[in-house]
C-alpha cells in the first residue's frame, strides 16, 4: 500500500501531475523540535533544477505543514505535509496521452489499474520520492533527539564506469553536497560531471551505486526473524524507483563471494554492522544499485530529464534509512528490559 513503517508510519499520496503531493507521518512522539524550514531544507536537497547535471525542470517544491506541529514542536498527533505541484506543463505531456512511453511502466500500470493517467507518470514518477524525503526529515528530527550519536550519510560511489573503490572516512552531508554529483572524490566527480553533461545532451543516461554509512547505531535494533535490520533496509531502499539491487559491506560483494570463509571473515566490517538481523553497534555500510533511467529517442525533451538520478537520490536513500531507524528505535523502546 502507501504506508511505510509500523510505529513511525509514513503514508504518502499524490500524482506527479495532480494538485499536490504529500505525506502524513503518524507515530512521532510529542515534543520533538520541528519546523517547516527543517523539512524544506531536506526537500531542497532533492529538488530538480539544482545543477547542470540534473533535469532543468525547476520546481520550487514548497512544503506546508497542515497539522501535528505547534510552536515548533510536534504535538504527538499526525503530521500532514503538502507540496503543491506547480510545474504542470501539460503541453509537454499532451502527446503522451495516447501512447505508452517505452521503458516506463505505462503499459503495466494500464493493465493493473485499467486506466493510465494521461498527464504522465502518476505515482510511478520519481516525483513521489519527495514524500519520502518529507518522512525522512521528520524521522531525522526524532532521531536527533532520541539518538544524537546516529549519523546517516550517503554519497555517489559509482556512476557508469567511474567507481570510488574505497569508502571515504566519515564525511558530513555538507561535504557530500559540495559537489553537484554528490561524489566525494573531486577527481572522480569531475569525470562523472563531464559524462553526465554529455549524456544529458544526447538523451542518454547512467546508473550506478549510492553507498550509505550509518554511524553511531545503538545495538540490538532489528528483529531476529522477519524484521531483520537488513531485511527492513533492503525493503526501504529497493522501493525507490530505479533501484535494482542492494548489498552490504564496503565494496563489490560479488567479487568478495569468490573468497573462502576463512579469507572473507578476516576483516571486521564485512558484517556490515549487522549480526543475527540486529545492529551490533559498528558502522553499517549499505550499497544501493541504480539502473540507468530509460533513455529518450526524442532529444528535444532531453533537457527536462535527469541523465542520472543518483545525485538527487542521495537524500532519498538517507530518508528511507532514517524512516527505518526511527521505526526500529520506537520498537526498541516497546521491549522494556527490567534488570
- Of residues 128-167, which lie at the interface with a second copy (CB under 8 A)? 128, 145-146, 158, 160-161
Q: Interface with a second copy includes 26 (CB under 8 A)?
A: yes
Q: Are 227 and 278 in contact (CB under 8 A)?
A: no
Which residue number, 137 or 247, has a Cβ lying nearer to a second copy?
247
Beta bridge partners of 82: 22, 64
Q: How far is CA 163 from CA 29, 45, 167, 207, in A?
A: 41, 23, 10, 12
Contacts of 15 (CB under 8 A, 6+ apart): 21, 117, 119, 122, 123, 125
CB of 268 to a second copy, least distance (A): 11
CB of 4 to a second copy, least distance (A): 4
Query: Minimum Å distance from CB 64 to a second copy?
Result: 8
Going 113 to 118 to 124 to 130, the CA torsion angle's sign is negative
Question: What is the closest distance, in whole angstroms, from the C-beta atom of residue 159 to a second copy in the complex?
Answer: 9
User: Quick one: which of 147, 190, 191, 270 contacts a second copy (CB under 8 A)?
Assistant: 270
CA distance linking residue 209 with residue 211, whole number of Å:
6
Q: Of 177 and 280, which has the nearer Cβ to a second copy?
A: 280
CB nearer to a second copy: pick between 3 and 172: 3
Residues 170-209 binding a second copy (CB under 8 A) are: 199, 204-209
Site residues (CB under 8 A) for a second copy, limited to 288-317? 289-295
Measured from the CB atom, the residue of 208 and 311 that comes closer to a second copy is 208
Between 178 and 197, name the residue whose CB sits nearer to a second copy.
197
**From 35, 86, 90, 244, residue interacting with a second copy (rule: CB under 8 A):** 244
What does the longest C-alpha to C-alpha distance in the chain come to?
68
d(CA 297, CA 222): 45
Identify the residue among 39, 43, 68, 151 touching a second copy (CB under 8 A).
68
73-92: which residues touch a second copy (CB under 8 A)? 73, 75-80, 82
Q: What is the DSSP letter of 33?
A: B
CB burial class (10 A; 0-12, 13-18, 19+) of residue 232? buried
Cell numbers found for residue 140: 531525522
Contacting residue, 112, 187, 299, 301, with a second copy by CB under 8 A: 112
CA distance 42 to 50: 13
Single residue of 52, 58, 70, 97 touching a second copy by CB under 8 A? 70
Amino acid at each position: 500500500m502507501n504506508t511505510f513503517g509500523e510505529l513511525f508510519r509514513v503514508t504518502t499520496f499524490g500524482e506527479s501531475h495532480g494538485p499536490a503531493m504529500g505525506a502524513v507521518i503518524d507515530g512521532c512522539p510529542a515534543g520533538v523540535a520541528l519546523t517547516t524550514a527543517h523539512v524544506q531544507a531536506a526537500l531542497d536537497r532533492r529538488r530538480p533544477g539544482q545543477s547542470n547535471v540534473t533535469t532543468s525542470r525547476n520546481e520550487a517544491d514548497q512544503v506546508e505543514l497542515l497539522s501535528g506541529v505547534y510552536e515548533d514542536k510536534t504535538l504527538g498527533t499526525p503530521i500532514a505535509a503538502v507540496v503543491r505541484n506547480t510545474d504542470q506543463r501539460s503541453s509537454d505531456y499532451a502527446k503522451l496521452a495516447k501512447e505508452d512511453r517505452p521503458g516506463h511502466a505505462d503499459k503495466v500500470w494500464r493493465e493493473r489499474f485499467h486506466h493510465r493517467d494521461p498527464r504522465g507518470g502518476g505515482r510511478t514518477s520519481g516525483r513521489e520520492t519527495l514524500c519520502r524525503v518529507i518522512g525522512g526529515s521528520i524521522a531525522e528530527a526524532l532521531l536527533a533527539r532520541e539518538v544524537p550519536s546516529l549519523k546517516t550519510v550517503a554519497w555517489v560511489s559509482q556512476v557508469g564506469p567511474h567507481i570510488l573503490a574505497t569508502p571515504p572516512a566519515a564525511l558530513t552531508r555538507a561535504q557530500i553536497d559540495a559537489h553537484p554529483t554528490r561524489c566525494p572524490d573531486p577527481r572522480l566527480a569531475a569525470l562523472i560531471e563531464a559524462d553526465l553533461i554529455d549524456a544529458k545532451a544526447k538523451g542518454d543516461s547512467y546508473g550506478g551505486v549510492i553507498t550509505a554509512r550509518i554511524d553511531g547505531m545503538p545495538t540490538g535494533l532489528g528483529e531476529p526473524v522477519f524484521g531483520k535490520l537488513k531485511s527492513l533496509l533492503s525493503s526501504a531502499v529497493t522501493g525507490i524507483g530505479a533501484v535494482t539491487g542492494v548489498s552490504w559491506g564496503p565494496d563489490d560483494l560479488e567479487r568478495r563471494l569468490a573468497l573462502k570463509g576463512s579469507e572473507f571473515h578476516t576483516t571486521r566490517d564485512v558484517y556490515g554492522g549487522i549480526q543475527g538481523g540486529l545492529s551490533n553497534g559498528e558502522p553499517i555500510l549499505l550499497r544501493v544499485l541504480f539502473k540507468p533511467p530509460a533513455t529518450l529517442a526524442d532529444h528535444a525533451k532531453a533537457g527536462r530529464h535527469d541523465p542520472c538520478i543518483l545525485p538527487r537520490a542521495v537524500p532519498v536513500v538517507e530518508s528511507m534509512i532514517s524512516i527505518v531507524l526511527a521505526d526500529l528505535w520506537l520498537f526498541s523502546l516497546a521491549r522494556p528490559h527490567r534488570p
